[in-house]
Structure 1
Amino acid sequence: MTSRLFFISPAVSASLRQARFDDGCSIDDGGAEQARSAAGSLPPAVRVLVSPGVRCRETAAALGLDGVVTPELGGLDAGRWRGRTLDELAAEESEAVGRWLTDPASAPHGGESVQDLCGRIGRWLATAPETDGRTLAVVEPEVVRAAVVRALDLPPTAFWRLDVPPLTVTELSGRAGRWNLRLGRPPAGPHAD
């Protein structure tokens, strides 16, 4: 049985525009309008999952999706860096930020390392139930990156080389241990069956 997982990144928020570690900020009016415009354009799904983050829950609601909040698909725990901008941190803790951006096992913020995030999402992929239909998951961009890193068995250093624009769809099809990838299609685009 082949599973089809559609990871949908959240709409734009002030935190995203400011390159700020997620601080529970809502999606902005423009992002909400884009999501509402895309409502109904996603493929039908057997199940819908949502990261517990505010912007993911609000994006799912604006898309007209009634999903199950799934803690395992939560965004990166940025520890004491939560709510801070990367520029602020680079000015105050340049060595720590440099280490965090180059060493996937580093977590100078006291939260989760990129390696830990990739491991958590990889474990979820390995145990994701196979279904006869699609699973839609509205998740943070870093969760999409981690899923791609694990699905394609990339080194964790590839994490920072993957761009995930707001309100795009990344598709994995296959099963635990063997996944195929389709990247970054806007939700209003055509759906392959």
Structure 2
Amino acid sequence: GPAEMSEHLRYLARHSRTPLMCMPNAGLPVLTKDGAHFPLGPEGLADAQEAFVTDYGLSLVGGCCGTTPEHLRQVVDRARDLTPAVREPRPEPGAASLYQTVPFRQDTSYLAIGERTNANGSKKFREAMLEARWDDCVEMARDQIREGAHMLDLCVDYVGRDGVADMEELAGRFATASTLPIVLDSTELPVLRAG
């Protein structure tokens, strides 16, 4: 629903250079014995979309699950004569995972990249990788998160190994088991592509 999207739109309006659009559900669904019920009425959706246009500069509005023709009629009537807020986005360079972004400019004095998930620099990681102990590799990544790393180095380069297969296995696991961005580290382009 629009209430859940507001903070995301505020962030995007401040940082994204691309045009923004928002098509929220008619509120957060409530599961009932008859199925999902969307509690936000047409006027509430129109209010939210008006604020999104005037506060965040959205260029396209609409509705998704739970919206009815009446919801959309009120949104169109309200948004038709609105002038979108002027946006002056200031993108912030950084790296992102599925869960968070880490700006390259840090308040701390350094950007800590956890190197213990590098087969060339960590014997423990290399041995776990060679023995296909993937859960152990993931735990080593999590240890670095707990120790304060900002990003995780992932290097699977090791002579005689199928680096593409190792990278596919570990990058997939790290992307969902870790909240940190991953620095793909390899001298082989196919391995980087696999990551």
TM-score normalised by length of structure 2: 0.23
Please identify the structure whose Cα radius of gyration is greater.
Answer: 2
Q: Considering Cα pairs closer than 8 Å and 6+ residues apart, tell me whether 1 or 2 has the greater RCO.
A: 1
